[in-house]
């Protein structure tokens, strides 16, 4: 690894780029070309992108001095006129006729799409190995996974292939790859960011969130993304906007709970050590931290792997070969067409989850599995509600381990599901959470997860900002593959 180089455009965070653009020291086209060159240099090794848009949008050539920035977008977010595959064969040639609300909000603020990033098919996975377009590799170690499902977005930001990116988080899909790639990732409160134009996986859990080099940029993107959208009936009306980013020197008066269930067996020693050391830094900044308990944590994974596949099995019924996407050429009848289209179009993990979801919703099993899981979800929500009486936020590891070797868990679905054991409860309870780099183990990044009250993203951003002002973990960059250092 190496320290960031202030002279290298693709090493800078967006707020640093903004200064250079406003001073006129670089032009938006220079930034664009630097990123396109960087993608050409390293993406053969990383495979972070499914689609790259190499041409600088001509309509942005003269914005009267207002800065424009490229953004990488996970390939399950609709981008008008740009192929959106969801990492699946079934949408391999799909070109959306509209933009997601999140994309429109970013375009209004001078952002444009640099490319579409690789992901586990339909966001189902924790390693980016379930993509129909081949796995993405971790820029810190090419033999390790980048995490998933937003692995392409996290790897691209870590490797200097994008200054920032969008991901989506259903059970940890923004936070876990952010942790494994050493960048910042945030899952907003359920309802904060419009889901219009996000390909539906599990509708009661999905949220779009930013992946950035540092907390300041995350703060900027969160401000841009959040807000009510009449096109998403689950987006929250009347939500308080997030104020502009500012530096934070002291955390006096902030109360932090450290749930013991998040540091138990299965959490790597080096991860536990780095996270506890980070909590120590927050205490030095004035916060008060103490151990607490979320007793139903161990049931989160089981509840999730009933609820999420159940919702997915229903959402993915729309891929029938009629209105968009792949259609088999083998079929003679309508029924044949549905069945063969889906057989040819979906990969193994997607089929497994459709099967699991259909099973737990089917006659005779609904009460025992689905309804019981939704009641357990209530118990998990109550654990958090009790914590909010005593704490302003919770601190924990994002992932129980650092990035694991490519291929290690692909044959064992349950081992793969375990990668999300510390991120899933947050989705079940609809809470905001942020992952930021807090150390390294065996040369691989460790992520600190901060979990907040509903709609209190601001506290998480403030605490994370104070941490980054006091530490330099976010200033290291990976040396990708055979790249010559310096």
The nearer residue to another protein, 74 or 326, going by C-beta atoms, is 326
Residue with tokens 């059970």: 171
Position among 56, 140, 305, 391 found at the interface with another protein (CB under 8 A): 305
Position among 37, 240, 378, 390 found at the interface with another protein (CB under 8 A): 378
Is 187 tagged catalytic? no
The nearer residue to another protein, 7 or 238, going by C-beta atoms, is 238
CB 433 within 8 A of CB 443: no
Q: Is 234 in the site for another protein (CB under 8 A)?
A: yes
**Which residue among the candidates 13, 88, 149, 150 is catalytic per the annotation?**
149
CB 262 within 8 A of CB 397: yes
Q: Is 97 in the site for another protein (CB under 8 A)?
A: yes
Is 74 tagged catalytic? yes
Q: Is 374 in the site for another protein (CB under 8 A)?
A: yes
CB 197 within 8 A of CB 207: no
**Which residue among the candidates 88, 168, 173, 235 is catalytic per the annotation?**
173
The nearer residue to another protein, 359 or 388, going by C-beta atoms, is 359
CB 189 within 8 A of CB 195: no
CB within 8 A of 55, min separation 6: which ones?
A: none
Q: Is 19 in the site for another protein (CB under 8 A)?
A: no
Position among 381, 458, 475, 479 found at the interface with another protein (CB under 8 A): 381
CA-CA distance, 249 to 472, in Å (whole number)? 15
Q: Please, what is the minimum distance in Å from the beta carbon of residue 423 to another protein?
A: 16
Size of the site for another protein (CB under 8 A): 68
Q: Please, what is the minimum distance in Å from the beta carbon of residue 67 to another protein?
A: 30
Q: Please, what is the minimum distance in Å from the beta carbon of residue 72 to another protein?
A: 24
Q: Is 233 in the site for another protein (CB under 8 A)?
A: yes
Q: Is 223 in the site for another protein (CB under 8 A)?
A: no
Of 127, 46, 130, 55, residue with least CA distance to 85: 130
Q: List b or e across 112-125, with b for residues whose CB sees 16 or more CB atoms inside 10 angstroms.
A: bbbbbbbbbbbbbb
**Tokens describing residue 23:** 């001073």
Contact positions with another protein (CB under 8 A) in 315-334: 317, 320-327, 331-334
CA-CA distance, 225 to 468, in Å (whole number)? 22
CB 331 within 8 A of CB 340: yes
Looking only at the bridges linking them, the beta strands covering 433-441 and 184-187 are antiparallel
CA-CA distance, 433 to 58, in Å (whole number)? 37
Please report, for residues 138, 180, 363, 367, the alpha-carbon distance to residue 77 in angstroms, rounded to integers and kept in the order given: 22, 22, 34, 34
**DSSP class of 422:** T
Is 13 tagged catalytic? no
**3-class DSSP state of 203:** coil
Map residues 346-365 to x or -, x wherever contact with another protein holds by CB under 8 A.
x-x--xx-xxx-xx--x---
Q: Is 409 in the site for another protein (CB under 8 A)?
A: no
**Which residue among the candidates 74, 107, 116, 187 is catalytic per the annotation?**
74
Q: Please, what is the minimum distance in Å from the beta carbon of residue 288 to another protein?
A: 28
CA-CA distance, 58 to 468, in Å (whole number)? 36
Contact positions with another protein (CB under 8 A) in 452-471: 454
Residue with tokens 């607490």: 292
Q: Is 306 in the site for another protein (CB under 8 A)?
A: yes
Residue 381, Cβ density class (10 Å: 0-12 exposed, 13-18 middle, ≥19 buried): middle
Task: Count other Cβ atoms within 10 Å, centred on residue 44.
Answer: 9
Q: Is 122 in the site for another protein (CB under 8 A)?
A: no
CA-CA distance, 156 to 148, in Å (whole number)? 13
Q: Please, what is the minimum distance in Å from the beta carbon of residue 334 to another protein?
A: 5
Map residues 20-59 to x or -, x wherever contact with another protein holds by CB under 8 A.
----------------------------------------
Q: Which residues are catalytic?
A: 74, 149, 173
Binding site for another protein (CB under 8 A): 94-98, 190-191, 204, 230, 233-234, 236, 296, 298-299, 302-303, 305-306, 313, 317, 320-327, 331-340, 342-343, 346, 348, 351-352, 354-356, 358-359, 362, 369, 371-379, 381, 413-414, 428-430, 454
């Amino acid at each position: 690894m190496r320290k960031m180089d202030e002279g290298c455009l693709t090493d800078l965070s967006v707020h640093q780029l903004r200064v250079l653009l406003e001073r006129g020291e670089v032009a938006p086209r220079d930034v664009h070309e630097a990123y396109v060159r960087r993608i050409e240099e390293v993406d053969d090794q990383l495979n972070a992108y499914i689609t790259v848009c190499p041409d600088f949008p001509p309509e942005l050539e003269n914005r009267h001095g207002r800065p424009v920035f490229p953004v990488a977008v996970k390939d399950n977010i609709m981008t008008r006129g740009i192929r959106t595959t969801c990492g699946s064969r079934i949408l391999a040639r799909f070109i959306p006729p509209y933009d997601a609300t999140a994309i429109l909000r970013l375009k209004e603020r001078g952002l444009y799409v640099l490319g579409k990033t690789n992901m586990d098919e339909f966001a189902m996975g924790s390693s980016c190995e379930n993509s129909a377009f081949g796995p993405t590799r971790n820029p810190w170690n090419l033999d390790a996974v980048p995490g998933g499902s937003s692995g392409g977005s996290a790897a691209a930001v870590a490797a200097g292939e994008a200054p920032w990116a969008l991901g989506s988080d259903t059970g940890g899909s923004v936070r876990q790859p952010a942790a494994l790639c050493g960048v910042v990732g945030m899952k907003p409160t359920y309802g904060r960011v419009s889901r219009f134009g996000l390909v539906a996986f599990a509708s009661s859990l999905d949220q779009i969130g930013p992946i950035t080099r540092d907390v300041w940029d995350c703060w900027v993107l969160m401000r841009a993304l959040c807000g009510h959208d009449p096109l998403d009936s689950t987006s929250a009306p009347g939500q308080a906007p997030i104020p502009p980013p500012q530096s934070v020197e002291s955390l006096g008066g902030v109360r932090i709970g450290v749930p013991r269930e998040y540091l138990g067996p299965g959490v790597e020693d080096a991860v536990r050590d780095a996270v506890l050391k980070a909590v120590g830094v927050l205490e030095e900044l004035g916060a008060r931290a103490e151990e607490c308990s979320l007793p139903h944590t161990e049931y989160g994974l089981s509840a999730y792997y009933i609820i999420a596949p159940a919702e997915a099995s229903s959402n993915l019924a729309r891929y029938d070969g009629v209105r968009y996407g792949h259609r088999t050429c083998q079929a003679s009848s309508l029924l044949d067409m549905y069945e063969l289209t889906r057989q040819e179009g979906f990969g193994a993990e997607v089929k497994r989850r459709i099967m699991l979801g259909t099973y737990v919703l089917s006659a005779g099993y609904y009460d025992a599995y689905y309804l019981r899981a939704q009641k357990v979800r209530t118990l998990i929500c109550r654990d958090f509600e009790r914590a909010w009486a005593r704490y302003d936020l919770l601190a924990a590891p994002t992932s129980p381990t650092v990035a694991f070797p490519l291929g290690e868990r692909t044959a064992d679905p349950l081992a793969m599901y375990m990668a999300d054991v510390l991120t899933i409860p947050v989705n079940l309870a609809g809470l905001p959470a942020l992952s930021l780099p807090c150390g390294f183990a065996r040369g691989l990044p460790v992520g600190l997860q901060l979990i907040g009250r509903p709609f209190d993203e601001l506290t998480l951003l403030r605490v994370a900002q104070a941490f980054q002002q006091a530490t330099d973990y976010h200033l290291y960059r990976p040396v990708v593959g055979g790249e010559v250092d310096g």
